[in-house]
Amino acid sequence: MQIFPRSINKLPPLAGAGAALGLPGVVFVVWYFFSPLFTQVGYAPKQPVLYSHRMHAGQYGIDCRYCHANVERSAVAMVPPTQTCMNCHAAIMTASAKLQPIRDAWKSGAAVEWVRIHKLPDHAYFDHSVHVSAGVGCSECHGRIDQMEVVRQQQPLSMGWCLECHRDVKQKQGASLKLRPVSQITNMEWQRNPNEPVKPPRELNPPENCTGCHR
């Protein structure tokens, strides 16, 4: 007496085909979602104006807060308006072809269409002012901007990466390598003395629960 129907004979080849197709799929998912292609590490889009952070922030030592003026008091650091550029370039390099888009925007009143590089998903909340006032330096997230001719995304900005920093600060407080004196927030060359723990400006309790970032 036959217990199983003849159609069951198709199961082994179907299972083999599924495994053959499924394994590459799993490899692709791991390769993509755990790689810089997904986290966008190294993303450096072409901007409408060839602005050099290496020259402005590095060579000339312009403080980050001169252009990103809201970083200490707002959730967003702020992309500088054309007025900020013209504060200098109304008198410097006034005939440069590279700066023509800036001059055109200044005359028309239209904003320069800068391409955003560091962008979190809409379901994630991040406040620059909270982190800056706690002693997290610009270079912790953005890297050595003062050495970049073209700005690129240096860190993955993933949930795991953020939580790693939160846990480190919560456990080590002043001994955390993630913190620095608030006065050195924009100093890209600042280095921590391991024998002199940095005292946080206030008691820190970085959230690890979902509502800390997903509101």
The sign one gets for the Cα dihedral 11, 14, 20, 22 is negative
| Residue type, position 18, single letter | G
Q: Which of 84, 50, 55 is nearest to 68 (CA)?
A: 84
In this structure, which amino acid lies at residue 58? G
Q: How much of the chain, in percent, has pLDDT values that exceed 90?
A: 72
CA angle 186, 113, 156 (to 5 degrees): 50
Query: How far is the C-alpha of 180 from the C-alpha of 199, rounded, in Å?
Result: 8
Determine contact, residues 213/162, Cβ cutoff 8 Å. yes
- Look up residue 75 and give its two tokens: 């959730």
Q: What is the pLDDT of residues 6-22, one digit of tens each?
A: 777 777 777 777 777 77
Structure confidence at residue 29 (pLDDT): 64
Q: What is the pLDDT of residues 173-182, one digit of tens each?
A: 888 999 999 9
| Type of residue numbered 35 | S
pTM of this prediction?
0.80
8 Å CB contact between 148 and 51: no
